[in-house]
Chain A
Amino acid sequence: MISTIFEQLAGNIARLGEKQIVTLQLGSLQIQFDKEAIIMTWVVIAILVLLALFLRRSLRQDVEDRPNRTQAAVDALIGLLQGQLTSSFSSEKLAKELFSFISTLFLFILCSNLLGVVPGLSPPTQNLNITLGLALIVFVISHVLAMRAKGMKKYWKGYLEPLPFLLPLNIIGELSRPISHAFRLFGNVLVGTIMVTVVASKFDPIILPVAVNIVFGLFFGSIQAFVFAILAVAYINVAVEG
């Protein structure tokens, strides 16, 4: 049983480079999807939504009651996120507005990275399109918030500072942020998958692949989800303040 799973995993190494592309024709517009990534993204969304619905039901209790186990666990998770995120925002108002967005980002990436531990499933974050999409959401939000916080005139003037001829450098600096943000998550998750597949196909398929899977899937997966969320906060802070 286990050996067949790992034989499958070793077979994955041959198709690491190739993707199953689905093409959708909408009038003259041609849209291409990576089937695996789309399906896995919907799996992650379904897991998170079902978890939220299930947890909400068990949270319905009077305020005076002693909290049950589920409530205590969710409280601990939210408290941890709040403790880490709230103090890294530049202002209280910003933290209040963006806490739900950043923690959703964190939970989505965490859930998709942890799915990579299950043999046969591929984490959706190993697709560059998805990480780039997440990074672009952060990019747009940071610029919209910067326009709102500084006002249009001051925002556009910010590109001409400190000296007007540095305008191209400023624009490149802004554009490189979502790219490095996306590539960081993508590279880390992809190399985890590659390492697990290589080790599973070359070495004794019981002990070493499991250890590599735990290190790359669970440890680096959680660290990278945290880093992505914290960097999103840092980029938004820089855009709003600077």
Chain B
Amino acid sequence: MLEEAQAVSSGISGADIVLAARYLAAGLCMGIGAIGPAIAQGITAAHALDGIARQPEMQGTLFRTMVIGQAIAESTGIYSLLIAIVLLFVI
């Protein structure tokens, strides 16, 4: 019984575990890291739409401000993306 378990476990080397951990970490990093920016961008777009519905003539200004706000909210998502890329390709 013990010998069997040892034979199975010897097929998995330390490098394999590191590889699996890298892929898992990259997936988790992107998945969890995308929650915050998604919520923030949704709230920004919703309020911008409220504003446009109330004052359609302000559409140009509101759209521009909305894009700036979403771009800034996106930066944390971009940082987690970079960490995922570093995990996948660089390490």
Contact = CB atoms under 8 A, between A and B. Distances in A.
A234 interface: yes
Nearest to B67: A227
Nearest to A190: B85
Contacts of B67: 223, 226-227, 230
Contacts of B72: 231
Contacts, number: 39
Given A230-B64, A231-B71, A187 B90 contact: no
A230 to B, nearest CB: 6
A187 B78 contact: yes
A180 B75 contact: yes
A17 B75 contact: no
Interface string A177-212: 000100110011011001000000000000000000
Contacts of B89: 16-17
B64 A84 contact: yes
B60 A184 contact: no
Interface in B33-91: 60-61, 64, 67-68, 71-72, 74-75, 78-79, 81-82, 85, 89-90
A17 B90 CA distance: 7
B85 A184 contact: no
Interface string A72-113: 000000000001100110000000000000000000000000
Contacts of B71: 184, 227, 230-231
B75 A88 contact: no
Contacts of A17: 89-90
B67 to A, nearest CB: 6
B19 to A, nearest CB: 15
Contact of B61 (A87, A188, A194, A223): A87
Nearest to B81: A187
B31 to A, nearest CB: 15
B61 A187 contact: no
Nearest to B30: A191
B48 to A, nearest CB: 14
A83 B59 CA distance: 13
B74 A184 contact: yes
Interface of B: 60-61, 64, 67-68, 71-72, 74-75, 78-79, 81-82, 85, 89-90
13 contacts: A17-B89, A83-B60, A84-B64, A87-B60, A180-B78, A183-B78, A183-B79, A188-B78, A191-B81, A194-B85, A227-B68, A227-B71, A230-B71
Interface of A: 16-17, 83-84, 87-88, 180, 183-184, 187-188, 190-191, 194, 223, 226-227, 230-231, 234
Given A191-B81, A231-B72, 10 more contacts: A84-B60, A84-B64, A180-B75, A183-B75, A183-B78, A187-B81, A223-B67, A227-B67, A230-B67, A231-B71
